[in-house]
Structure 1
Amino acid sequence: MKHSTNPQTRRGRGPARRIGRSLALVLPVVLVLSGTLAVAGVNWSGAPTSPVLTAADTSASGASSRTGARAPQDVLRDKLLVELQEENPGVALTHLQQAVNDRPSLAKHCASIARSLGRAAVRVHGPTKAQSYARPVCDTAYAAGVVTANR
């Protein structure tokens, strides 16, 4: 008895098997790359960058608050400069330290705000009295602001 050797019945020889193997190698790479690109393309900061307005943005209050919105560090700097003039630099420095403790995101702006307070204190109180309010807030940036205002 002779066995037939039909090429269609043997497994692993047809074009479908080769296509399947190719997809098995390429598909995971494509999925990883597309996932990486999708994650990289997301705006993780939360600030809207799209020119498309949502219903909440089109309201009158939403539009006016967007145009008048300022960075938190700028608002804090202005508030502390007013406190420095109305009370004294010590109160402003204390409130700066409290603000940085309450909102750690302000820590990277702490030194520049403290230097601004130091320069303003020299203009308001003079260099000697301004230096007397110095304390180690934000790596003594206040004292550096006093010194640079004296130059």
Structure 2
Amino acid sequence: MKHSTILQTRRGHRGGPARRIGRTLALVLPVVLVLSGTLAVTRVNWTGSPSSSVLAASDVSTAEVPKAVAHAPEDVLRERLMGELQDRNPGVVLTHLQQAVNGHPSLARHCSSIARALGQAAVRMYGASRAQSFARPVCDTSFASGVLAAAR
């Protein structure tokens, strides 16, 4: 029996070109798959609307991306009270503002701007002198300052 002079490892031959190619593919193939998958996902039309234009993620500017319509609690309260002002007098609306701030203390920092906006809207609806008659010490008399600002 003749012994080979080529050194052997535990699993067989030391490695030839096939083993080197295998190692290279083992390192490169996952990177290529991840990149191609990422590019494929950016080219999918996720909106559901049939559009012929397909944009890559890098082609979309931030101005073209539609903003999510998430309203802050103070904006929701402002809109609700402004709508309520159409049906009720400003005194009732100011009471509801005070109740909302008492119920949700995080709204307190927005109370002045909401009351000022209500005062300005009340001037447009009732005139300056009648709007002033509804003033209450809600939110540091911001309603009154809104009436004054709108009356000028």
Partner of 1:94: 95
Q: Which runs of 5+ in 1 are unaligned?
A: 1-65
Instruction: State the distance in 1 between where 2:91 and 2:68 align.
Output: 33
Q: Could you say what secondary structure the match of 1:98 adopts?
A: helix
Map 1:23-102; keep pairs closer than 5 Å.
67-102=68-103
Q: Which runs of 5+ in 2 are unaligned?
A: 1-66
Q: How big is the alpha-carbon RMSD for the aligned residues of Structure 1 and Structure 2?
A: 1.1
CA deviations on 1:75-126 (whole Å, 9 max, x unpaired) are: 1001101111111101110000000000000000000000000000000111
Q: How many residues align?
A: 86
> Quick one: which amino acid aligns to residue 96 of structure 2?
H
**Where does residue 104 of structure 1 map in the other structure?**
105
Q: Flag as ranges the 4+ runs of structure 1 deviating above 6 A.
A: none
Cα offsets for 1:20-76 (capped at 9, x unmatched):
xxxxxxxxxxxxxxxxxxxxxxxxxxxxxxxxxxxxxxxxxxxxxx92210110110
Q: Quick check: which has more Rg, 1 or 2?
A: 2
Aligned to 1:129: 130
> Aligned to 1:119, what secondary structure does the other structure show?
helix
Structure-1-length-normalised TM-score: 0.56
Q: Percent identity?
A: 65
Give the structure with the larger helix fraction.
1
Counterpart CA distance in 2 for 1:77 and 1:131 is: 20
